[in-house]
């Protein structure tokens, strides 16, 4: 009888490239790990939710930049949205 692989909730030691490609790669790595039984559904779900929040943050920053650029005659420098103090 074939022995089942035990799913282990461990993340890759390599940092994720902080780009849309890096996020996409991380999601596909989780999918591959799920299919291979080396990643737990809990870890894959957490990774997907975190990447979703990253995408939401970027969307918010883009929306603010569009608003700021539409409402100023000169284009202000817009780099990172500051939240809180």
Instruction: List pLDDT tens digits, range 60-73.
Output: 888 888 887 777 66
Instruction: Read off the pLDDT of each residue in 14-41 and give the average, rounded to a whole number.
Output: 90
Look at residue 29 and tell me if it is in a domain. yes
Judged against a pLDDT cut of 90, whether residue 41 lies above it is answered with: yes
Tokens (6 digits) for 60 = 């918010």
* CA–CA gap between residue 18 and residue 71 (Å, rounded): 30
Contact 37, 7 (CB under 8 A): yes
* Angle between helix 20-36 and 41-70 (nearest 10): 160
Task: State the virtual CA torsion across 58, 9, 25, 14 in degrees, nearest 10.
Answer: 90
Look at residue 76 and tell me if it is in a domain. no
pLDDT at 28: 94
Look at residue 57 and tell me if it is in a domain. yes
Look at residue 80 and tell me if it is in a domain. no
Look at residue 40 and tell me if it is in a domain. yes
Look at residue 39 and tell me if it is in a domain. yes
Look at residue 78 and tell me if it is in a domain. no
Judged against a pLDDT cut of 90, whether residue 8 lies above it is answered with: no
Instruction: Read off the pLDDT of each residue in 28-50 and give the average, rounded to a whole number.
Output: 94
Instruction: Read off the pLDDT of each residue in 21-25 and give the average, rounded to a whole number.
Output: 89
């Amino acid at each position: 009888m074939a022995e089942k692989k035990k799913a282990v909730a461990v993340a890759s030691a390599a940092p994720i490239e902080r780009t849309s490609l890096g996020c996409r790669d991380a999601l596909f790595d989780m999918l591959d790990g799920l299919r291979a039984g080396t990643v737990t559904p809990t870890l894959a779900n957490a990774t997907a939710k975190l990447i979703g929040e990253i995408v939401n943050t970027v969307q918010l920053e883009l929306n603010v930049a569009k608003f700021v650029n539409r409402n100023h005659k000169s284009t202000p420098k817009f780099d990172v949205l500051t939240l809180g103090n």
